[in-house]
Each structure stands twice: as C-alpha cells, then as structure tokens.
Chains A and B, each alone.
Chain A
Amino acid sequence: MNKISKEELDVISEVVSEQESRRNFFKKTATYSMGALAAASVVAPVMLSANEHIKANAEDDPNIMEEKPWATKWGAGVDEGLYGMPSPYEHNVTRRITPILASGNTRASIAVTPIQDLSGIIVPNGLFFNRNHGGTPTINPNEHRLMIHGLVEKPIVLTMEQLKRYPSVSRIHFLECPANGGPEWRGPQFNSIQFAKGFMSCAEWTGVYLKDIIKDLGLKPEAQWMLAEGNDSSHMGRTIPVDKVLDDVMIVWGQNGEALRPEQGYPIRIVVPGWEANLCVKWLARLEFSAEPYYAKEETSKYTALKHTGKAIQHFYVNEVNSVITSPCPEKPWTDLKKGDMVEIEGLAWSGFGTITTVDVSFDGGKNWTEASLKGLVIEKAWTRFSIMHEYTGKPMLLSSRAADDAGHIQPSVKNERAAVGIEGVYHRNGIHTWEIDAKGVVTNVQILS
C-alpha cells in the first residue's frame, strides 16, 4: 500500500475534527428541532416542494406532481441491512411450494423458482430452486470433510481449506430437476410457469474440476463408476460414470460469487454440468470409485423413466434440449396490450447436451415456425435467452418454442416424445411447451398433440 505522508495525514486529521464539530452541532440542532419535525409530519401531505407553484391538472400523473415520502425523508443508513435483501415490495417474487410435490413432508420436497419474474440467465441465490431429501442441515464447515476413496491408489481426506487450494474454475450452468415438467406427462396440470417449468435455475458456480484432484490419486483402470454421497440426514448418494467425472464434473463451494447457500449444499456440492440436478449431490462428503454401479435409493423407481414397453430408462443422465416462453406466460399475460402494440416475446432455452444453436417460435400451435433471435450470452449447458418481436393482434393464438443444440438434438413435439417413451416417464419431459392466449390476452398452459 502507499504510505501516507505527514502532510496528507494532517489534512485528514483536519477533516476528521471538522466533521466532529459539525456532528456536535447537528446533535444540538436535532434536540431543538424534534418538536418542529413532529409538527411537520402532522401537517403532511401538504409539503414544501419545488413544484408547489404548479397546479396539477387531471391528466397529470399525481406520482409526478406530488412529492413522495421517500423523496422527502431520510432513507436507511448503510449500517442497516449489512447483508442486503430485496425491496419489501418484491416479497411476492419467491420460491413456492405445493403439497403434491412432497414425499410426505417438507423435508423431502421441492420449492420451485419464479422464472416468470427473472431476467438474464443468473438466478439470485435466494430464489434458486431447492429439492431436499432430508431437510437442509446447518453444517459447520470447519468440521466438514471430503473423502475420496475406492479404486484409487491413494485414498484421501480433504478439509475445506485444502480443497479450495486446488486451482479454481467458475462456470455458468443450469441445474434442473429431471422431474421439471414431470407432473404433466398425461396433460397440462399447472396453470403457472413457476410450477410447470420452475424446477430449475442457473448460476455461476465456483469450485474445482474433480479431475484435477483425481490426477493426484491414481485412478485404477477398472474404475467405471463413482458414488457421490452427502452427509445430511438423507445420506443421499448417486452413481456417476467416470467418463463424465474426467470431463467437466466440479466440486463447488461458490454460487454467484458467495458461498453456497445451506439449501444448495453448503459447504460443498458436486455439479455435474448438464445432467440431472439430482446427481449434483449437496453437502458432499464422500466420493468412492468402483467397477460396478451402486444402485442407490434414487436409482430405483425414482429417477428412472418408465417407458410404455414396461422397461425404465436408468442412469438417464442429461437434461435434454428444452425451452419455454417466459413472457407471456400465465403469470405475465398480455391483458394490458392493445391491438397494434409491438411486444417482445421472450423465453429460456437450455440443453444438457451442449450449447443452444437455434430456437424457433410458432404462433399456430406448431404448424409453422419462425426462427427467433438468441440474445445475450450463449454458453454450453447454461440458460440461453431468446426473443422475437410481435405485433399484437388481439386474436387467440397458440404460442410454442422449439430449441436445438450443437449435439444434434431437437426438442421433440409432445407427440414424438410420447411415441418414444409413453406417458408414465415422470422424469425427463422435454416436449414442446405451448401457451394458449385468448382474445383478452389471458395465457393458459396447454399441450399440442398434433
């Protein structure tokens, strides 16, 4: 740091003493004028203002013509809310729950993200969807350990400090519950984008590549699988193939620049980019390598997709290419639009296979399609925004989106997806999503079976 010269120090001291004398002056003044201030409050709303000489007409917006209390009174000091919170007016922008998504109680349930209220591709940490299997633990990071063992030459235990000494990487990836949209295999049920598509979020994750640690340990050639296990009360484990581990799997402690929230796995979780968020085990404590798969409790009737053949897809890794229009949606209708208004149709596309290449939008239920613009950052295994302009006609329409990715996958129609897997899959539903918009601009969740 630069040294402060004697001269500069004297100047600073003068400023400080001047401030102190002023503060004393204000203290005295404040005491004398308390009564005056109270009187001023009583006589509100008549206030002295720069506009006092302007007489408001009927067409003038009173929000402009009248002074607001926040413009005429002190706001909060910087010492209030040292960890900041959203405006209280935003309290309806929140995760939400519904009993049907719980396995009995709120410890094994999901709270979903209000994607209708979000912009860009980053979800604030307090709104990131939360799926638990045994409740959110409060883990002391000083007592938390990560063990890596099994088919490695050198099994190790890391403290959190030791883990964070590996070279860090930051990556933007979506995490999606593979049951996102799952309650709607047999038809639409939620007239809400938050519940129809909000089992997902996207964040910038900071941690280490697991392969950077593995290279120190001597992975044995017969190792095909890795168990990732948390030490919350559910002790949830999942099997991950070594091929993915050595590609881009991360152990993360950071989420959007700060520590993981407790409900996201504090102090550490695993992130398996593009794959089922259920594989991204929270409160991560143990990694074990083996020659055979583990068959954990979430690799049974849960997290397998039953096809109409009676066979279920197991180890269904990728959250496939998908998209949804976020504006309009049931929560953000077009009821305020007039015929002839120009309006931006906006949405989210994502693919666990790779990077979004195109998104098409249909105004007639998927019969004809127009390519939309991608906008903002287009990054692999991350939310991608798309947009298309529209002149509002006031006529009913069926509005759909269809995404494609660089791995050669195209979002299937509901009909195509049903042909491949039936209607009992529960997980991995990525069929084209459609909103029906009526003549009043009200938006409803529908599916197109053509």
Chain B
Amino acid sequence: MYKSYHKKIVASTLLASVVFLGTACNASNDEKKSTIETKSTAQAQSAVATNTPMNTEGFTKREIDAVGPANALVSETVKKTYEHNGKMVIDGGVTYPIVNGKTGAYYVNETAHKTPFHNGKPATANEQKAWDIDVMPDGTGLPEGSGSVEEGDEVYEEKCASCHGDFGAGSGLYPKLTAGNAYEAQKTLMHQRINPDDDGPQRVFGSNWPYASTLWWYIKTGMPHQAPMSLTNDEVYALTAYILYINEIKIDGVLVDDEYVLDRAKFLKIVMPNVDGFEPKINGPKGADNAREYYNNPLNYGNGVRCMKDCFEGEPKVSRIIRPIADFTPALTAEKTMPAATAAAVPGQATYEASCAVCHATDSMGAPAVGDKAAWAAVLEKGIDKVYHNANNGINGMPPKGGAMDLTDAQMKEVVDYMVNASK
C-alpha cells in the first residue's frame, strides 16, 4: 500500500525537477552582488559592524548613500538607541525617551511607572507545566513518545486528509504539506515568477521550514483545525513521521520510509534542508545583535531616495492589472441605501454554516456540495435514514458528526434536513 503512495510522490518530484531545471532563476544578483560599506552607514553604526552582505543591484550610488541611521533626525527627544541598555535599536527605527515628562506627543506620569506593584500570584510549577506547550528546536518542551509512518498514515486519513488532501497535496486553499522531495523542492526557493506562468518557489514544510520542532508544536496545539489539542503525543509523533515521509526527509542519513518509527531521540537529529535559509541569524547569544545589525541597514530590505525632479529617464513604465481579483463579499459599492431585509433563518442553517460548510460548501474535498442536486440524489439513494446514520457515524473521509462532536442527534437531523432541502 505504501509503495504505491511513494510512486505517486516520486512522480510528482520528477515533474517538479523538470520544471525546476527548465526555469531560469533570476540572474540579477549572485556573482555581481558585492558587500558595500557606505560612509554614511559606517559613521552612524560605529557600535555595529557592517559586515552584512547587501544586495546593491539596481541601486544608484545616491540611493545607497541615502539610507541608514545617518539620516535619522536624532535629537534629545528622538534616539536611535534604547533607554534601558543604551544599545542601538533592533529594528532600524527610533525611540522616544521621556524628556520633560513627555514621550513623543504624550505626557507621562513618571512616578506611576516607577512604582513597584507586585500584583498577581506566583505561577505554580503545575500551572506552568500545564500551559507551557511550546516546543523549541533544541527539544525543550518535546515529550517522550513514538509513532510510525504507518500509524501516521491512518491518523492522517481520518483527521487530516479532508482538508490537506491525499498525501499532503493540499485541497482548495488548505495548505500543502509537501512539494515532493524536500531537498529538491528547497532549490525552488530561488524561483521568481517574473512571467505569469513561471513556477514559483515551493514554500512548504519540507522545503522551507527551518526546524521540525515547529511542526510537532503546530500539530499538537493547532491541529486538527476544528479540534486542536485533541491528539495524543504518540499520534503527533506518528503524524510528524508521516509528514517527514511524504517530504522524503532523511534523519541522520536514513530516509524516513514507510516503515520508519519516529521517537524523541530520532526527532532531535532532524536537520531540515532549509535550516540555513533565513536571515538575520538569530540563534545564540549574538542573535539579537545580528538582527540589530541587519535592520539598521535598509538596503537589506529596500529603501528609497527623496528625488524631486526628473527622477528617471523617459516616460513611466506602467504595470496594469492582468489577472484581476474582484470576488469580494459584500460586493464593493459606495451607495448609501437601506439594507435589503434579511430572510428569516432556516432551521439547521446556522449549524451548517458553523460546522459543516467548511467541507460541504464546495466539492473540493470530496464531500457532496450543498446545492449539487446530482450529488445529493446519489447520497439519498439508500434513504434519508441512512444519511442521518452516516452523518452521525462518519463516511469515507468524514469523521463522525463531521468532527463536531458537540452536536446533538437532533441538531444533526436538522442540519441534514437543511442540506438535503438546499440541494433539491
């Protein structure tokens, strides 16, 4: 069974590779990129080394000279440093120290802010344990446990596939969990969709995320989306194993295949393909200082110049809307009118909208779409009682009560009737 899954993924990976080879990356940087330390930034950043590589392609000398803290309107009331430690700001902005009882435009009661309060009660060890749900890259917060790819596949089919699609391929606008082989997909992060039909960068877990700890934390505390905090630790290990499998991740040189069993020790050895794909570097004791250095150089993320006359040659080059998006609810209008009277609520409609529409509004997830006469005629072939039964007990990809276990049988009957009537 798993072999066939694997073939499917390999096929999609091959396709992705072909596309990748056939797509020219943006050639405007790379070799020509140089590290420029401008006079103006160097002066003002005396406390900060300016060794961050910058992309200066496309900038004029004037633009490069114009950026940075040198141009800040620093005064007694506007600073580039923090009051609490005298360090340069971390974000490239300014701070407004309290001067003569004011910060910026605001008056301050300085005595109030100097007063100790000691409100609240000590957080007990148990309380902290109960709420400390995060999982960090070094394994802090990751409990012991284990799960296999095979178990993960079962949980996935039952609780995840209805939104994330078969093998994590995504469905509708629900996120993809894989773009095939993570090591190959990671290379697509260089892609720029310059032409409308270009293939873009694949930003999924396998190809993009720096740490697997985020995945474990996310699944444990945020999934399934309609019922978070409902999975056991072993189920989370199993789902993590399955998602590593469909991304073809290797742990310590070993491919996570269909027989892989993941546990805490193995999990902590995962090195994601794109672990070095992010800037600034924020880990370790210098992490915050690295961010400080990065953001005080606006060429890292773009800056303008205050040119006033003849700022470019010739006529302006205009880019107009090619693929308009205008599917707005409610439709755009500036009219001042009385609203149309709203129709009285139909029994079951509110329940449908709250609990069922996620899957049944369209057929993108395989569920019969409300309003689709043919689909519902097929559903009704075995009689309405069978439909009530299936709604309560689950069918195909649909879990019992669609996962909305708080609904009573009466509510389920009402909502089925609503969906059937709306599809006649």
Contact = CB atoms under 8 A, between A and B. Distances in A.
Nearest to B289: A224
Interface string A239-252: 00111101110000
A140 interface: no
Interface in B105-157: 105-106, 108-109, 112-113, 115-123, 127-128, 131-134, 136-138
B122 A155 contact: yes
A24 to B, nearest CB: 37
Given A295-B214, A410-B306, A165 B117 contact: yes
B173 to A, nearest CB: 5
B299 interface: yes
A261 interface: no
Contacts of B301: 305, 313, 316, 320, 420-421, 428
Contacts of A311: 277-279
Given A90-B336, A318-B92, A191 B122 contact: no
Contacts of B82: 243, 246-247
A313 B308 CA distance: 31
B221 interface: yes
Given A296-B217, A353-B92, A419-B57, A157 B123 contact: yes
A163 B119 contact: yes
A306 B203 contact: yes
A370 B316 CA distance: 17
A52 interface: no
Interface string A404-428: 1011111111111111111110001
B109 A354 contact: no
A133 B337 CA distance: 33
B326 A450 contact: no
A314 B128 CA distance: 28
A26 interface: no
Contacts of B136: 290, 292, 294-295
A158 B283 contact: no
Interface in B280-322: 280, 282-285, 287-288, 291-292, 295, 298-322
A318 B319 contact: no
A157 B127 contact: yes
A440 B320 CA distance: 18
Contacts of B66: 410
A419 B55 contact: yes
Given A297-B218, A315-B291, A402 B304 contact: yes
Contact of B189 (A154, A306, A408): A306
Nearest to B299: A420
B254 interface: no
A206 to B, nearest CB: 12
B300 A313 contact: yes
Interface of A is mostly: loop
B329 to A, nearest CB: 5
B304 A413 contact: yes
Interface in B180-201: 189-194, 196, 200-201
A248 to B, nearest CB: 8
Interface string B198-221: 001101110011110110011001
Given A189-B321, A415-B58, A247 B134 contact: no
Contact of A216 (B116, B218, B338): B116
Interface string A89-116: 1111010111110111101100000001
A15 B260 CA distance: 88
Given A367-B312, A417-B302, A195 B26 contact: no
A157 B59 CA distance: 51
Nearest to B105: A379
Interface residues of A, number: 156
A91 B336 CA distance: 8
A443 interface: no
A368 B308 contact: yes
Interface in A287-308: 288, 290-297, 299-301, 304-308
A365 B328 contact: no
Nearest to A193: B332
Nearest to A107: B225
B163 interface: yes
Given A408-B71, A417-B302, A424-B192, A189 B91 contact: no
Contacts of B115: 167
A89 B338 CA distance: 5
A127 interface: no
Contacts of A309: 29-30, 33, 55, 190
A448 B312 CA distance: 11
B104 A355 contact: yes
Contacts of B78: 354-355, 406
Interface string A267-287: 000000011000000000110
Nearest to A299: B214
A362 B329 CA distance: 33
Contacts of B299: 420
B95 interface: yes
B319 A188 contact: yes
A446 interface: yes
A369 B91 contact: no
Given A194-B332, A365-B318, A423-B192, A300 B209 contact: yes
Contact of B330 (A92, A155, A444): A92
A317 B300 CA distance: 13
Interface string A184-204: 001111111011000000000
A297 B214 contact: yes
Nearest to A352: B93
Interface stretch (A55-63, A75-83, A229-237, A340-348): A229-237
B132 A318 contact: no
A157 B26 CA distance: 51
A331 B280 contact: no
Contacts of B123: 147-149, 155-157
Q: Which 9 A-B pairs have the closest CB atoms?
A: A419-B58, A365-B316, A408-B71, A167-B112, A353-B93, A420-B302, A104-B174, A301-B203, A410-B304
Given A165-B117, A241-B288, 9 more contacts: A89-B338, A100-B327, A147-B128, A216-B118, A236-B222, A367-B311, A416-B63, A420-B302, A444-B321
28 contacts: A91-B337, A104-B225, A149-B132, A156-B122, A156-B123, A157-B127, A169-B108, A209-B113, A243-B85, A300-B209, A301-B203, A331-B332, A353-B92, A360-B306, A365-B315, A404-B304, A412-B302, A416-B304, A419-B28, A419-B55, A419-B58, A420-B302, A421-B301, A422-B26, A447-B319, A448-B319, A449-B318, A449-B319
